[in-house]
Chain A
Amino acid sequence: MKFTLSWLKDHLDTDASLDAIVEALTRIGLEVEGVTDPGAAVKPFRVARVLSAERHPQADKLQVLQVDAGDGPLQVVCGAPNARAGLVGVFGAPGDYVPGLDVTLKVAAIRGVESNGMMCSARELQVGEGHDGIIELPDDAPVGTSYADYAGLNDAVIDVSITPNRQDCMGVRGIARDLAAAGLGSLKPIGTSLHLDDVSPVEGSGEAPAIRTETPGCPAFYAQAVTGVANGEAPEWMQRRLRAVGQKPITTLVDITNYVMLDLGRPLHVYDRAKVAGALVARAAQDGEQVTALNGKTYALSAGMTVIADDHGADDIAGIMGGERTGVSADTTDVLIECAYFDPDRTALTGQALALTSDARQRFERGVDPAFLDEGLAIATRMVLALCGGTPSAIARAGEPPVAKRVIRFDPKLTERLGGLHVAPERQARILLSLGFTLGAIDHADAYSDALMATIESDWPVSVPTWRRDIDGPADLVEEVIRIEGIDKVASTPLPRLPGVAKPTATPEQACERRVRRAAAARGLDEAVTWSFVSEGEAAPFGGGAWTLANPISEELKVMRPSLLPGLLSATRRNLARGAGSVRLFEIGRRYLADGERATLALVMAGDKRARGWREGKGVGFDAYDAKAQALALLAAAGAPVDNLQVFGEAGDAWHPGQSGTLRLGPKTVLAAFGIVHPSVLKAFDIDGAVAAVELYLDAIPPKRTQGFARVAYAPPALQAVRRDFAFSVPAELAADALVRAVKGADKGAIVTARVFDVFRKDGETSMAVEVTLQPQEKSFTDAELKAVADKVVAAAAKLGATLRG
């Protein structure tokens, strides 16, 4: 919401400086987003009279002017067709900066004739669009004075951000009221800003226009006709203010509606009566009914929306935008002025559904003052009469605006209880009164007296002004008091410490995420954060997206990711494209499945695992075992029982069928998928070379069942462990894990670990060497005992088809 300082001062009688006003606005909740001074750029330019104009001796289109800018004749060469003796315009002297041309003037010879400055056009000074000729001012404009002063350009424009609850401040008057309450002056009667002495209703003579309302979407519809108007250009003062706040002047009638809306927060509409057939009716739209609005676009309406229609059908989208068909033009002679109350909720829903926003909608959906219909109509009619002439009709009123008296019981102690700020009750009462609230018998601000105050019960009956739809409870009144008193006065109050000792504030899941994140970073992986949404194509190999955005920003960000890998693969592509030699990325976040959001860690490794080097020679890439190593280490960090995990296949379509697997706790619980990403997936992501990846399902890790801090009792064995190696010839398809499990299980009392330390394949024969560690307990193994264990190991392996190599 923009307004100018002079506009504000038409409503607010104040001596406060611009800075004080700006500071106060922000302090009371009307945040100032910017202050601009349009006059600053044209400050040096002066009003000047052309004394004489002669043809330039060397150029047909140029003239040599003698100009008086207040201190005697100066010679100026000018190319404007309207330059002539007697014209009063705007002069720029050497040294002045011309904003529209981006040049600084200097004395120069133009085709051999000296020129000492320039007569300017509106566009050159950026004060308007005119560029057909130089600015022409009235004859009585004071020569030699500042043009900015003369034209009223030294009027600061203040831009405030109005929060959605403050419809009343979407007009200059509401802002002035708040400032007056904050002690920055007093509110003037309505009229100054409108150039009207009287704002009372005008009871005209002609027949009242035919109007009706048939819908709760328009509880009240008031109108008045004026015949015989002349619709030209609005007066300069009005145009200047509209322009200053970013509104383009159009015609007087349209400008009046815009001006009153900005001045008082009261939207209006003016119809060309000649274009209206029969009565104007506010009614519910029919499904599919079409309307061409003033913006030239056609909208298909649905039932539940409200329109203003005549015998030709729907014309206006009520409270949002007028219709093109009945709009006023320069030729309009008879008008019908509408001042209505449209239901805020319906206006909001209609605007949302049509994706159509307008100044009127912003005000109606927030709820305009329902008690201001007669005044609004009177002001509009009086301005039309004053600026366009004509004869008013009688006033037509259809329906009743919802002006219900709202009383809130308010205990002034609540201000301290909720706001933490002690404000004396009298001060609270005065603040509320100055904002338009009334307290029981004290029915306006000037009526306050201690005697009257004493008659009011401790739970004050506070009546809410009709323009404050946002106020509906005592907490709102606390806010009003505190924001005017000064929220900065609220003193810091330490939050009491909770009793008892400090306990973890993170849940086990959160603590697990933190641990596994740091573990991943410690293992050389860089943490990325990628979008939660991916394209449908990217989601497909990972099971497809279970959740689709109805209004995605783009097709690339359309479905909620079923896996973290697509985002990481895209990041990998970008990194490789930037020339990265090695990419190791991980992310911790959620994957979004049909039945919920799951905590997940994923990682990708691409490019060099080890770059080529002087020691190792050629570089080495990542393989599925690197992925497995990361998966196991991170699962361990996450607290998963890694010793009990088994490797299964079936990682899914996104993976290399022969070089991927899952890590499971029992056959059902999948804790991780790992391996090499399927080449066709990589191709879809435009990645060359292999990518090793892991996806860890943090949600599947069983919670630890331990309690307390004490570990299970343990003493290191006194006797040294014994190692024995076994080399087996195994069937080609035998998994190493199966062999190790069999070996380990051969004598659970003696064998503590078993691991494969060598594998070789030759001539179709596979050989695996297993190192078995035996732990003696009370006394050392005898040779016979060792032999017995070895026999059991060989026998267990034999069950899998493995034979001891000689």
Chain B
Amino acid sequence: MTDTDDLRHQLLSAVEAAATLDAIETIRIEALGKQGRVTQLLKTMGAMSPEERQVQGPAIHGLREAVTNAIAARKAALEADALAAKLASERIDLTLPVDAVPAGTVHPVSQVMDELAEIFADLGFAVATGPEIETDWHNFTALNIPDTHPARAMHDTFYLQQGLDAKAAGTADEKTTFSLLRTHTSPVQIRTMLGQKPPIRIIAPGRTYRSDSDATHTPMFHQVEGLVIDKGITLGHLKWTLETFLKAFFERDDIVLRLRPSYFPFTEPSAEIDVGFTWTKGKRVIGGSGDAQGGGWLEVLGSGMVHPKVIAACGLDPAEWQGFAFGCGIDRLAMLKYGMDDLRAFFDGDIRWLKHYGFAALDVPTLSGGVGAAA
């Protein structure tokens, strides 16, 4: 064994044994410092003969490299240990609660209105709006419901004092005096036909009012109106449109409609639309034929071909233009789809109910992502 080998062994053992960064530094200075033993050895090379240097050189350089590497490795290991120890001392209890960013919600009525807009956009229907404080003419007369019509009794209308005052003063004009709260969204049909040329395809969702208050009726509720005015539109188009809409809304292909002849002053022929359901765990689940075992029919829509008198009242020629209209309760649609059973809760603002039945901000109904928000 040469001196070099001996020295290598000594130094590497010392490095291996060093327990602190300070100890390593001491060894480094001892070995590789200006007066260090390896440094001294390197200095001896200058006095060597070329032959001797040829033999000793690689051994001494090898020694220096081995010691340098060993020191670096040991140092890194000690630093890693130190960091690990430091980090270990920084352990925190991650089971503690964090500050939640409060999540808000979108009301089911708004969500369903967005769904309707999306479904009907695909069929080319624009969204129309109209005033909730309406005139007698737009809410009733233009819709073929004259003063004496028994159908007015079906509408428990809220009248406005300002309208009555105008009537008393003899200044009331049926067409311009805002005298009542609209009892349905149908006056938007009138305003649309007056305001734009056919072809027309619109839906009109919004608030409606009737003087009615019990377990299943609220004095304010939401309806959506639909109107198509074009050439050659028939009851068959109405049926297809409502089928398509209800299938898209409930995201079921097995929706079965039943049309029942009915009466609305502003449509002729008129039909009520029932949709088949089955009782499942005490709840109505829409889908299937209502005539099936354990099934039933639920009235969801009123509809019909727009009455020629209504078309004429809006300044259009009923011989040229015809179409259909329908109306439907939005609150009820929401209840059927999302399973609420108390209408009054819709308007209470109870945050517990809103958080349960409301929708996340990003649950935006889209055709590609689905118009319904999964439970």
Contact = CB atoms under 8 A, between A and B. Distances in A.
A447 B280 CA distance: 53
Contact of A524 (B101, B117, B164): B101
B234 A521 contact: no
A381 B237 CA distance: 53
A588 B113 CA distance: 13
Interface stretch (A208-216, A428-436, A577-585, A768-776): A577-585
B116 to A, nearest CB: 11
A582 B352 CA distance: 11
A475 B310 CA distance: 12
A707 interface: no
A597 B132 contact: yes
A482 B117 CA distance: 31
Given A479-B261, A483-B269, A494-B240, A164 B151 contact: yes
A527 B232 CA distance: 42
Given A475-B308, A502-B121, A557-B219, A495 B104 contact: no
A420 B351 contact: no
Size category, B interface: 35 or more
B166 to A, nearest CB: 12
B94 interface: no
A590 interface: yes
A419 B271 CA distance: 11
B104 A520 contact: yes
Contact of B97 (A483, A532, A613): A613
Interface in A572-603: 572, 574-575, 578, 580, 582-586, 588-590, 592, 596-597
Contacts of B354: 526-528, 585
A551 interface: yes
Contacts of B364: 518
A182 B99 CA distance: 69
Interface string A147-162: 0000000000000000
A84 interface: no
B235 A521 contact: no
B269 A418 contact: yes
A560 B352 CA distance: 27
Interface in B180-203: 181, 199, 201
A27 B150 contact: no
Contacts, number: 263
A374 interface: no
- Specify the main secondary structure of chain B where it touches its partner: mixed
Interface string A379-415: 0000000000000000000000000000000000000
A46 interface: no
A20 interface: no
Contacts of A524: 101-104
B361 A519 contact: yes
A597 B158 contact: no
B260 A506 contact: no
B127 A510 contact: yes
A222 B208 CA distance: 45
A59 interface: no
Contacts of A615: 99
A492 interface: yes
Nearest to B269: A479
- Give the most central of B161, B239, B349, B354: most A CB within 10 Å: B349
Contacts of A27: 260-261
Main secondary structure of the interface of A (DSSP, over half): mixed
A521 B360 contact: yes
B234 A497 contact: no
Contacts of B228: 495
Contacts of B106: 517-518, 521, 527
B283 to A, nearest CB: 22
A421 B106 CA distance: 43
Given A164-B150, A348-B149, A479-B269, A31 B260 contact: yes
A572 B348 CA distance: 10
Contact of B235 (A490, A506, A583, A585): A490
A548 B107 contact: no
A476 B268 contact: yes
A573 to B, nearest CB: 10
B322 interface: yes
Instruction: Name the residue among B114, B219, B309 with the largest chain A CB count within 10 angstroms.
Output: B219
A548 B160 contact: yes
Given A610-B99, A613-B97, A345 B259 contact: no
A570 B199 CA distance: 45
22 contacts: A29-B260, A29-B262, A31-B260, A165-B263, A348-B150, A419-B269, A479-B269, A487-B269, A491-B236, A495-B228, A505-B121, A506-B117, A507-B127, A527-B106, A529-B107, A529-B109, A532-B181, A550-B161, A574-B350, A584-B102, A590-B132, A614-B97
Interface of B: 96-97, 99, 101-107, 109-110, 114, 117, 120-121, 123-127, 129, 131-133, 147-154, 158-164, 178, 181, 199, 201, 207, 209, 211, 213, 219-220, 228, 232-237, 239-241, 243, 258-263, 268-272, 305, 307-309, 322, 346-352, 354-355, 358-362, 364
Given A164-B150, A419-B236, 12 more contacts: A352-B153, A483-B261, A506-B121, A529-B110, A531-B220, A546-B162, A553-B219, A557-B219, A575-B351, A588-B110, A592-B133, A597-B131
